[in-house]
Structure 1
Amino acid sequence: MRGRKATSLAAVLLMIAAVFTVNVATAGPAAADACYTWTRSLSSGANGGDVAELQKRIAGWVSYGENLTIDGEFGPATTAALSRFQAGYGLTADGVAGPQTYNKLYELQSDDCTPLHFSHSETSQNCGAYNYEGGAVSAATARENALRVMWQLEALRHKLGGWPLNLSDGFRSYSCNSSEGGASDSNHLYGSAADIIGSPSLCTIAQAARYAGFEQILGPGYPGHYDHIHVANQGSQWWSAPSCGI
């Protein structure tokens, strides 16, 4: 009898341990990440720097013509963008950032916080200088602006079925911008612009960019943009790619 009771008790303890282990694994936060680690779930009404970090990464998941403000306030626009991000990657689209959302973001970002398919070496070409210096804002600000653009491009790439988006230009210093014949107030000077070349067709890129949070979209039909799509964040909407119906 003692042997049977001991065996039964051991089995029960093992079952309890197994259940506890599963609960800890599923209820706890997502694993830590070399770039940035969220330590709490976020939903409507939350605020803080962790909300701003989330907003930066889902800025390309807005609806037509929208631009997500990176303000650290989890409002309706952030909830909607997060829900689209979740749906786009096959997650539960509940508008709540928890372990499933964070683990997907960790999969998508490199140790320096750039998204999987884009890098600072692409956006900081700066006429061969490969830095963010000499523009209209500090190098740190230009770098942050470029990072947001890269996350929007990551969203755009995913929405286009994973087609490669090659960048021909990103941040420019004043001297670089002058040598490139850029406008004196070009968004390239702020690190908030990128020029896209390659496949799919330029018009397909331009049309899809309207759903990726870009306020400025210039392409075929607009002077000097026959061979690339220019996208940027600038505070107001300006789209012009007449050959693409934009």
Structure 2
Amino acid sequence: MRRRLSTLLAAIALAMTGLVVLSSTTPANADACYTWSRTLKAGATGADVSQLQIRVAGWAGYRTNMAVDGSYGPQTTTAVKNFQAAYGLSADGVAGPDTFTKLYGLQKDDCSPAHFSWTEVDGGCGVGGYSGGSVSSSTVKANLLRAMWRAEALRHRMGDIPLRVTSGFRSQSCDRSVGGSGTGQHTYGRAIDVVPVNGNTTLCRIAQAARYVSFGTLLGPGYPDHNDHVHVDIRPDRIFWSAPSCGI
């Protein structure tokens, strides 16, 4: 009896030890939006890499319009390193438990980043929603998610100064009604217009910081019709910046 009890206690101790080891090597706990199940590093591919890229693309560096392609290459490594450094983590370029835990803390259950919301970026002209654009509603939302995460990077880079999106997605009819072409980047969900909150910073400071957060297009003060906001968008394979009043 005593021997069986000793054996049982030893088994329990071993199991508890195993659980401790498991918890220290598992990437992170389940998350309501997205959960990574493995550590990611250079050479990895897959949908989990794409999900990581969506969230760290804003840290890829100056004049880098980072692709979300599911391939963990040099740009992704750099973006992860810069993200880690910006949030006080060990900057090794490998996305593991600490990196995922920080990302979980930054995203809400609906996958939007902590300081921006879907209600800021949905349909303009008082309509709401994501239909009537140049692409499907699902593509619009996927593009807006990428834009919001880059805006989150912009906000943090500026010292967590609050920013506000004044225009996100527009249907084609809405875009035409405000003087657009009807097929501009807002109709794809790729573009957002950003302003400071309560005069806490300047449009020029926003424009200057936006050069470092993977926005391919940047239009601000001094560019026609952009003196009251900074337009940024994530259209692929393009770098075009113009904010003459800000020296850009």
The equivalent of 1:4 in structure 2 is none
The equivalent of 2:35 in structure 1 is 37
State the one-letter code of the partner of 2:246.
C
Q: Which stretch of structure 1 is more off in the superposition, 179-188 or 191-200?
A: 179-188
**Aligned partners of 2:11 and 2:23: how far apart in 1?**
18
**Aligned partners of 2:186 and 2:128: how far apart in 1?**
14
For 1:146-177, what per-residue CA distance to the aligned partner results, in whole angstroms no more than 9, with x for missing partners?
00000000000001110011111001001100
**Aligned partners of 2:43 and 2:10: how far apart in 1?**
42
For 1:57-113, what per-residue CA distance to the aligned partner results, in whole angstroms no more than 9, with x for missing partners?
001001110011100000011001001001111111111111111111110001111
The equivalent of 1:3 in structure 2 is none
**Aligned partners of 1:197 and 1:100: how far apart in 2?**
32
**Identity, % of aligned positions:** 52
Deviation of 1:185 after TM superposition, in Å, equals 3.8
The equivalent of 2:3 in structure 1 is none
Please give the TM-score of this superposition, normalised by the length of structure 1. Answer: 0.92
Q: Would you say 1:226 and 2:233 are equivalent positions?
A: no
Deviation of 1:14 after TM superposition, in Å, equals 8.8
Deviation of 1:25 after TM superposition, in Å, equals 2.2
Q: Which runs of 5+ in 1 are unaligned?
A: 1-7
Does the Cα contact within 8 Å between 2:53 and 2:76 map onto a contact in 1? yes
SS of residue paired to 1:217 = strand
Deviation of 1:10 after TM superposition, in Å, equals 11
Does the Cα contact within 8 Å between 1:126 and 1:132 map onto a contact in 2? no
The equivalent of 1:137 in structure 2 is 135
**Aligned partners of 1:129 and 1:16: how far apart in 2?**
60
The equivalent of 1:242 in structure 2 is 244
**Aligned partners of 1:83 and 1:94: how far apart in 2?**
6
**Aligned partners of 1:13 and 1:36: how far apart in 2?**
35
Once the two structures are superposed, the pairs formed by residues 14-163 of structure 1 within 5 Å of their partners are 19-163=17-161
For 1:184-213, what per-residue CA distance to the aligned partner results, in whole angstroms no more than 9, with x for missing partners?
442101000000112310000000000000
Aligned with residue 186 of structure 2, among 185, 188, 203: 188
Q: Which runs of 5+ in 2 are unaligned?
A: 1-5
**Aligned partners of 1:200 and 1:139: how far apart in 2?**
33
The equivalent of 2:212 in structure 1 is 211
Q: Which stretch of structure 1 is more off in the superposition, 140-149 or 233-242?
A: 233-242
- Equivalenced residues, count: 243
Does the Cα contact within 8 Å between 2:26 and 2:37 map onto a contact in 1? no
Deviation of 1:21 after TM superposition, in Å, equals 4.3
RMSD of aligned residue pairs (Cα, Å): 2.1
